[in-house]
Structure 1
Amino acid sequence: MEFLLAIVESLASKAAEYTVEPTVRRLGYLFKYKTKFQDLRSKVKELEDATERVQESVDAANRDGREIFDDVQRWLTTASEKISDEAARQLQEDKEKAMKRCFAGFCPDFKSRYQLSKKADKEAIAITELLKQKFDVVSRPFVPKATDIIRPVKEYEAFDSRSKALDEVMEALKNNNVNIIGVHGMGGVGKTTLVTYVARQAEEKRSFDAVVFVRVAQTTDPELIQKQIASQLGLKLDDNQTIDVRAAHLCNRLKKAEKVLIVLDDIWKELEVETIGIPSADQHKGCKILMTSRMPGVLNLMSSQKLIPIDILDEVEAWNLFKKMAGHVTESFDVKTIAEEVAQKCAGLPLAITTVAKALRGKKLAQWKDALEQLNSSEINSEGIGGAVYKAIDTSYTYLETKERKSTFLLCGIMGHGAAIEDLLKYCRGLGLFDSLDTMEKMRNRVVSFVDDLIDSSLLLAGSTPERFGIHDVVRDVAISIASRDCCWLALGEEDVFEEWSNKDTMRNCNLVGKVSELPDGLECPNLTFFSMFGTVEVPANFFNAIQGLRVLEFGRTNFTVLPSSLVCLKTLRTLCLRNCDLEEICILGDLRNLEILDLCGSSITVLPEEIGQLTKLKLLDLKYCRNLQVISPNVLSKLSSLEELYLYDSFDGWEVDGIESPRNNASLAELQPLSRLTTLEVHIPNVKALPKDNLSLERKGRFRVSIGFFIIMV
């Protein structure tokens, strides 16, 4: 009997659950509709507050260059839709409709009230679910993938002569018994294009857990290779550790990926991959190494199990590619025969074909004949580069329309891979290439336009981001050779630096010295206009006494804390870059009165001294990532009357409130107001009280990135 009573009670309870409670809830939709709308409005306000907190965390992460988690971004998108102006308007309309009455106002509109009240209740429940989600962490560090490093392949040319090589590479990657694959061929034949395509396919199809792409080139610095691999794996290596310890960390990380592809592009001499930290087949069967080199012997020394040659294009393929790049002009009666001869001179090399064809696109018959004459010339010294490629690139250079374009291209050559357009701008301005343009913005547009033209001409490559560009190793070698031949420029490397320094006649006539890593005891270069060096170095106090005509000077990652006293001799200097240098004091820079660009990005200075206020011709001041910068002397910025661009991203933020301190010990934002030419500003303002009384005007045309507290204003 008790058992039956228990069953009856249970059934009664369920009956109440399925009948009474729903009935009460439904009645609530009719008679408590005002409460439903009040609850919804309250939930929307809670969601607004929660969204603001999450957005603040996201903005802070974005400023640090971190990646936002997908679920956080989805939550923000959904929350924004719930609290949008449209949602608020709809809520108000629904509330008003629910209050309407029918039958001449004598009776409520129960159907409409019920439906809208139910809708409000459902929306409140959905917002409650959103509010339950908590985000202790909203982001992760940015880890570049191989596809972020390598240039995009806009259109892979699937020539028959390439299909076999591509198929062989793909088959070797699937073969569990093959771990090291070598691709070889002469410069400009398309090795990098092939392995770039393979790497992108592996990334997109997720056929490997990790894909790493490293450009090795002629400087085989194992530490640099380690850093490139580690950055793409999200692994942070300690610079203070020995190379062997870093290799052990790298090897351990690579073993954690079941299948990993490592592309080592453009190897010039034997590399000991295990010393770098790349595991051998015995250590990790799933690690595949794909290498390219101009020399098959180097690949053999590195124990390549599969050697795959890349040959030149056959005659039909070469002509079809040439026609595609040169355009319809090749089909005209008077040009076609000459064009066929020009194409033959490119020797079936895609790089040569592409550069020459694009250079002659739209040109007249006389220019085609002149190009053929140049390609037939035996005067050009290929200097170890395939003669056809060298002549092709040299001819393309000849057909660049202006002297400024040619000089810009040669500067790109000494800058190398992954160079920043912004750095190119600073060099061009310093050397006076665009003196006819009166603002930095006009000069930037001109430089960007030139880079785009050079990319279209296949003399440059598209970079990993729109702010950067690349250059093929062969094109770079030819550019350096042309610069040395025609302009007395020297782009020196680690291996030939002392030989060049010792040639006094060469140095006396030299106009440019780029990317050196060591200095001689003395230097006599009266014609030198550009000097660039990187790395640990001691600069003698009188080093600049005999090179007073410098217009561009660049030091990067140097460890001198005090600038050499002879720097004051550089009265013609227009661009000075002191990036990531261990500087303590820069008062001496105030004597460089003709300086137009001062780049101190990442330097360790703690004070921007009052002497900087003497640089009244300064157009660009770059103080990004100067994280130790605590003081900008008062009234320095306001004296820079020619300043057009000021960069303080992730740097100084100790703005004083104007009028509070008297006298002030630091800069105030009010000092920016008199700078009538200022069109670019990146600055962080932690306290809104530091804003000038009439606010910081952003009404001028230009680029502004101003963060106030956690909020970023982009104009």
Structure 2
Amino acid sequence: MEVLTETVKVVVEKIVDYTITAVGRQMGYLIRYKKNVVNLSNEVDELNDARDGVQRKVQAASDNVEEIEANVQRWLTRVQGINIEVQEFLEEEGQAKLKCFNLKARYQIGRKAHKMGLAVKELKDKATFQTVGHRVPIQGGTTISTKGYEDFESRKLTLNGIMKALKDDSIRAIGVYGMGGVGKTMLVRKVATLAIKDKLFEKIVTVVVYQTPDLEKVQKDIAKELGLSFQDETDSQKADLLRKRLKKEKILLIIDDIWNKIDLESRGISFGDDQKGSKLLLTSRFRDVFSTDMDSQEIFSVGALSDDEAKHLFSKIVGNFFAETLDFQSTMVEVVKECAGLPIAITTVANALKSRKDPKIWKDAVGQLKRANPTQIKEMHEKVYSSIKLSYDFLTKEAQSLFLFCSIFEEDKVIPIDLLWRYLVGLDFFEDVCKMEEVRNRVHTLLEGNGSGTFKMHDVIRDVAIYIADKEEKMLTIRSLEGPEKWLNMKKWEDSFGIAHFDVDFKVLPERFGCPQLKFIFLGSTKKYSSQPIPNNVFEGMKELRILVLIRAPLPHLSSISCLHNLQSLVLDWCRLEDVALIGELKNLRALTLSNSNIKQLPMEIRQLTHLQLLDLNYCTKLEVIPSNVFSDLRGLEELYLERSFNRWHIDGEITERSNTRVSELDYLPLLTTLYINIPSPKVLPKALLLEKLKRYEILIGDYPYWYSDSDSEYYKSEISRTLRLQLDRGLQIEDGIKVLLKSCEYLDLTPWEGIKNILYEVDEKGFPQLKHLCVGNSTVIQYIVNLMKNQCVAFPVLQSLTLYNMKNLEEICHDQVLKGSFLSLKKLKVRECKKLTSVFSLTMLGCFSQLQEIEIVDCKVMCAIFSRERTHEIQVNHDIRTNIIDFTQLRSLRLRNLPNLMGFHPDADSLLLFNDKVLL
């Protein structure tokens, strides 16, 4: 009985303890109801901060063409759901009940706030994702372009033969051969597109080998296309991994431009016996490569075009003006005949003659084509050489120099023009050109191409350029240095104009070049840095050296280059540097590039470079110190680049350990036309007068650490001269400098903070007349992009792209009817994570968006229609929408994703009618 009593006592005590605890907790809900609500709000703020961080990573992954992990998407959905729940609680229940004195209501508020706070905290604690996305292998491998391909009859037999061989399971390797410039690569690309169309393979991968093959790079390129990543494996392990990966799918592997036998098997480039229908498609200038070296079971020849095909191709390029006289017609026939049916010869000559309307010039061209006859370019038809040489002879002296100079770069290299012209600063190629602006414009004019801002030389044309430079002009002698032994005897370089080698091992450089006549040296490495620094005396005695370019070179000390007193352009890209003070000894330097280096401090000695016109410190992420008065002493500086680099500008009134340079020093640079810079606040901008003189700039204002990266910004970079990335709130007055930048910028990346509710009226009242691209995001207050009820003007007349993301309060893009001429050039529209946006367009805006080519709308939870009904105060376009077709004649891409409330394109119309039956939904 006594035991039973003790047991009951223990049980009763536990019940009492539990009851007291429970009652205390319940009383706590009542007593601390306000505190629980405040805690809930704080937890939500922290959760949203964590969500913003995750969303930035998600956006970056999405821009990197990665698929977002399912657990990340579920987490973001839960965050959105709990945010809505908390907001409703605070706005609809909490605020109303907080004002009353009802104890029951207070208890309910406190209890619910506490429980919701725990749920919010639990969700916040899970925001620790190692990765948010993964790359999905692209079906079909490399993107294949057949631009310029013509379906000539002479090609059909070969094309059909190759396609038949691809479908034959007994054939493992196919060879396609023909002389340089006959069109092998273009034909094979056409084969690849047909194979994709017919779904003959699960993947198609293309790699280029070149005359001097780098099989390690070929192996790496193939693996990358197949989504295979190498880590720290040995060569044999990498080969085994690639071999296994190639056996997993039916693959067409195209290996272009083979010159000699290559050991593919040693690199794992083999399908083995169990090839599952996978095949090798190889191209070469030489038939023997396939018949004796590469074991090709089918070999196809690509020959010249027929006379009619050659005339058709030539006429297509030059136009029909030659048909005006019989004299012109007969000369045209002779010109085409001299091109021997070779596509590269025909296109080269046609482009050289298309602007020449004098028959005498055409007759002279026939003679030149007949006379030119090289003997030392391997497997090149003499007519290919003669056609390219003719085109070369038609160039101006400046263009000829530039043409030969471009041949120093690696085969098939895509050369950024904005990089190329900097190299040319120190060479006297151009007459009457002194300023950087003039050099830039001249190079861009001479290399006018596809508008991408890059230049690429066809391998056959490069062969001819090297031949001309080396054998005829004696102006440039370009050397392709193949191994360490080539450095042992430098005597033969003594008369050379320049040396270029982009895959050098720096540890095998000679102690001294001993080439006093050299005007330029280009040395680069594609591999990791050498542990052994460049010899101190390697450049000694090079009194004539004007340009020195070193890429990934170990340069702990610069004594090796401080003796180059006539140097005018110095490029140290991706170099390991320590003390760069000795650069101050190079008094004649006009262009200095230290991009991607590890320097921490720019020395005072730089101010001695009084002739310096260009200083590039882009992507020097460790650069923390630039002493005061360095910039202000460089009075001749025209271009200054500090993109993703130094941002620790000294601000007046601040007390710091070091006296860094002030932004205001830039006001002392009267010739400055180009400025790439990061600054913390508009208050420290240079004077408006300086900004008005800028012709090119990329200015980032703000200290936001994870600036949104619009994937389109890189795409547009080659065509954009003026970019502004700006954080702005109403607390900061829009300074004169900001007004100048807003007026002139072409690309605006805007993060509006507190107090700004619409872009057009409050940020710029003139309608952004020069703006081509607008990106607005991360705003909690913006209601409208355009609010013409406050300001009547034509809005964004030349805007080509509009990106809106994470706009929590955005209700409409355009509030009220826009004026005629607004958005007239808009081609691309992206809308993401705009939580209050119920529609994108109003029907009154239809005429404004007739040029739209791409529409992307993602993660807009309340959007119910793409087009809204007109408001009663707006002018009706047409009461019968079925007769008023929305004519998107230019639309080619439409992406709608995660729009759970979307009912259609317009609440009162058949979606198909909106596209005039031209879009299948």
The structural deviation recorded for 1:146 is: 8.4
Query: Normalized against structure 2, the TM-score is what?
Result: 0.58
1:216 and 1:264 in contact (8 A); partners too: yes
The structural deviation recorded for 1:187 is: 0.7
1:670 and 1:692 in contact (8 A); partners too: no
Q: Hey, what does 1:447 align to over in structure 2?
A: 443
CA distance in 1, matches of 2:274, 2:605: 59
CA distance in 1, matches of 2:47, 2:474: 65
Match of 2:342 among 335, 349, 353: 349
1:145 and 1:232 in contact (8 A); partners too: no
Q: Hey, what does 1:156 align to over in structure 2?
A: 149
The structural deviation recorded for 1:671 is: 4.2
CA distance in 2, matches of 1:478, 1:138: 50
Q: Does 1:543 align with 2:538?
A: yes
Q: Does 1:523 align with 2:510?
A: no
Q: Does 1:245 align with 2:237?
A: yes
Distance 1:495 1:71, change over 3 A: closer
Q: Hey, what does 1:479 align to over in structure 2?
A: 465
Bigger drift between 258-267 and 203-212 goes to 203-212
Match of 1:263 among 228, 248, 254: 254
Q: Hey, what does 2:362 align to over in structure 1?
A: 368
Bigger drift between 373-382 and 383-392 goes to 373-382
Distance 1:353 1:693, change over 3 A: closer
Match of 2:620 among 612, 621, 626: 626
CA distance in 2, matches of 1:145, 1:494: 38
Match of 2:403 among 404, 409, 412: 409
Q: Does 1:552 align with 2:542?
A: no
Supply the AA of the counterpart residue of 1:291: L
Match of 2:424 among 424, 428, 433: 428
Q: Hey, what does 1:562 align to over in structure 2?
A: 557
CA distance in 2, matches of 1:59, 1:447: 37
2:142 and 2:206 in contact (8 A); partners too: no
Q: Hey, what does 1:293 align to over in structure 2?
A: 284
Q: Deviations over 1:178-218 (max 9, x none)?
A: 33221101111101111233345556776544332212111
The structural deviation recorded for 1:261 is: 2.5
The structural deviation recorded for 1:645 is: 3.0
Q: Hey, what does 2:608 align to over in structure 1?
A: 614
Structure number with higher relative contact order (C-alpha < 8 Å, ≥ 6 residues apart): 1
1:531 and 1:554 in contact (8 A); partners too: yes
Q: Hey, what does 2:331 align to over in structure 1?
A: 338
The structural deviation recorded for 1:61 is: 6.0
Q: Hey, what does 1:25 align to over in structure 2?
A: none
Distance 1:201 1:430, change over 3 A: farther
Q: Hey, what does 1:37 align to over in structure 2?
A: none
Supply the AA of the counterpart residue of 2:188: V
CA distance in 2, matches of 1:143, 1:668: 48
The structural deviation recorded for 1:399 is: 0.8
The structural deviation recorded for 1:354 is: 1.1
1:149 and 1:213 in contact (8 A); partners too: no
2:493 and 2:515 in contact (8 A); partners too: yes
Bigger drift between 663-672 and 172-181 goes to 663-672
Q: Deviations over 1:67-122 (max 9, x none)?
A: 365999xx9xxx9xxxxxxxxxxxxxxxxxxxxxxxxxxxxxxxxxxxxxxxxxxx
Give the match's secondary structure for 2:253: strand
The structural deviation recorded for 1:55 is: 6.6
RMSD: 3.8
Distance 1:235 1:575, change over 3 A: farther
CA distance in 1, matches of 2:196, 2:610: 51
Q: Deviations over 1:494-513 (max 9, x none)?
A: 34885697473x53332122
The structural deviation recorded for 1:654 is: 4.4
CA distance in 1, matches of 2:59, 2:570: 33
1:531 and 1:553 in contact (8 A); partners too: yes
The structural deviation recorded for 1:375 is: 1.6
2:247 and 2:276 in contact (8 A); partners too: no
Supply the AA of the counterpart residue of 1:599: T
Q: Hey, what does 2:386 align to over in structure 1?
A: 391
Structure 1 gap segments, 5+ residues each: 1-44, 80-130, 456-461
1:583 and 1:605 in contact (8 A); partners too: yes
2:377 and 2:463 in contact (8 A); partners too: no
Distance 1:502 1:595, change over 3 A: same
Give the match's secondary structure for 1:632: coil
Match of 1:316 among 286, 308, 322: 308
Distance 1:613 1:229, change over 3 A: farther
Q: Equivalences for 1:203-282 in 2 at 5 Å?
A: 208-238=201-231, 241-256=233-248, 258-282=249-273
CA distance in 2, matches of 1:707, 1:148: 38
1:281 and 1:287 in contact (8 A); partners too: no
Supply the AA of the counterpart residue of 2:284: S
Q: Hey, what does 2:64 align to over in structure 1?
A: 66
The structural deviation recorded for 1:562 is: 2.4
Bigger drift between 339-348 and 197-206 goes to 197-206
The structural deviation recorded for 1:477 is: 0.6
Q: Hey, what does 1:326 align to over in structure 2?
A: 318
1:428 and 1:434 in contact (8 A); partners too: no
Give the match's secondary structure for 1:171: helix
Supply the AA of the counterpart residue of 2:315: K
2:67 and 2:136 in contact (8 A); partners too: no
Q: How many residues align?
A: 594
Distance 1:650 1:378, change over 3 A: closer
Supply the AA of the counterpart residue of 2:300: I
Supply the AA of the counterpart residue of 1:298: V
Supply the AA of the counterpart residue of 2:386: K
CA distance in 2, matches of 1:466, 1:388: 30
CA distance in 2, matches of 1:672, 1:206: 59
Distance 1:677 1:178, change over 3 A: farther
Match of 2:455 among 469, 473, 483: 469
Supply the AA of the counterpart residue of 1:396: S
Distance 1:307 1:320, change over 3 A: same
Q: Deviations over 1:259-305 (max 9, x none)?
A: 32322111111112222232324254353322110112212312222
2:676 and 2:698 in contact (8 A); partners too: yes
Q: Deviations over 1:640-681 (max 9, x none)?
A: 333333333344444454542355254554444544444434
Structure 2 gap segments, 5+ residues each: 1-44, 78-122, 709-724, 726-746, 749-921
2:253 and 2:281 in contact (8 A); partners too: yes
Distance 1:163 1:379, change over 3 A: closer
Distance 1:167 1:628, change over 3 A: farther
CA distance in 1, matches of 2:642, 2:182: 45
Distance 1:373 1:507, change over 3 A: same
Distance 1:601 1:341, change over 3 A: same
Give the match's secondary structure for 1:553: strand
Match of 2:294 among 287, 297, 302: 302
The structural deviation recorded for 1:234 is: 4.2
CA distance in 2, matches of 1:135, 1:288: 44
Match of 1:590 among 568, 584, 591: 584
The structural deviation recorded for 1:449 is: 2.5
Bigger drift between 162-171 and 521-530 goes to 521-530
Q: Deviations over 1:28-87 (max 9, x none)?
A: xxxxxxxxxxxxxxxxx999999976774467669xx73365999xx9xxx9xxxxxxxx
Distance 1:378 1:59, change over 3 A: closer
Match of 2:159 among 156, 166, 170: 166
Percent sequence identity is 39
